Homo-oligomer: A and B are copies of this chain.
Amino acid sequence: MPKVRVAGFSVSLDGFSAGIEQSLNDPLGKRGTEIFQWFFHTNTFRSMHGQQGGTIGGVDDQFAHSAMDNFGAFILGRNMFGPVRGPWPDDLWKGWWGPNPPYHTPTFVLTHHKREPLEMEGGTTFYFVTGGIVEALDLAKKAAGSKDIKIGGGVSTVRQYLQAGLIDSLHLASVPVLLGQGESLLQGLDLHALGFSITDRKSSDYATHLVLEKA
């Protein structure tokens, strides 16, 4: 049975999954990169960007690999796709990731503004969905077939899907960083009442990885 998953999502000790003031220069918000140190050193991350090396097979790389594995479709919030706000002025913005994005499947972008699908290299096609999170999930499920669907982010998108009870599994990387300010992942959400419990936990030098699943 395919699952709707959040994976590879970092959370600071003070509960933030992105910094403040996201911009073209700071896609993860100010100091946002500090919460992804566990990911950057892995072979999985480097391979995604056409680089060699990195740590192979340790705790971080295992979770990094599974955070990108077995997905048949992705869903992204518009801020995760880019810094453009309001109606699309043109088709120039094609995501943060260059001509060959790391998704390699149909990828659904939540937006209030229509735009034609955008076919990229490597199998990624961005579809722009104006009908809301349930419509996007229906489209993603059809596209994914027997594979899982990943809610890729950002924070607001993950929170909306959690609150709607539409997520089956989360992998969070709890990192020893104090962001101080940012976008809180769990504030005001009751994951216990939503049926989640913690089913796996492993620590590395960089993060404590936790898997949360519905009972």
Contacts and interface: CB of A to CB of B under 8 A. Distances in A.
Interface in A162-215: 172, 174, 176-181, 184, 186-187, 189-193, 196-198, 201, 203, 208, 210, 212
A169 to B, nearest CB: 14
Interface string A100-131: 00000000000000000000000000000000
Given A179-B192, A180-B193, A193-B180, A174 B208 contact: yes
Contact of A191 (B178, B186, B203): B178
Given A178-B191, A184-B187, A187-B187, 17 more contacts: A13-B172, A13-B198, A14-B186, A14-B189, A14-B191, A14-B192, A15-B187, A174-B208, A176-B198, A177-B198, A178-B198, A180-B190, A180-B192, A181-B190, A181-B192, A203-B203, A203-B208
Interface residues of A, number: 27
Nearest to A189: B14
Contacts of A208: 174, 203, 208
Main secondary structure of the interface of A (DSSP, over half): loop
A28 to B, nearest CB: 16
A6 to B, nearest CB: 14
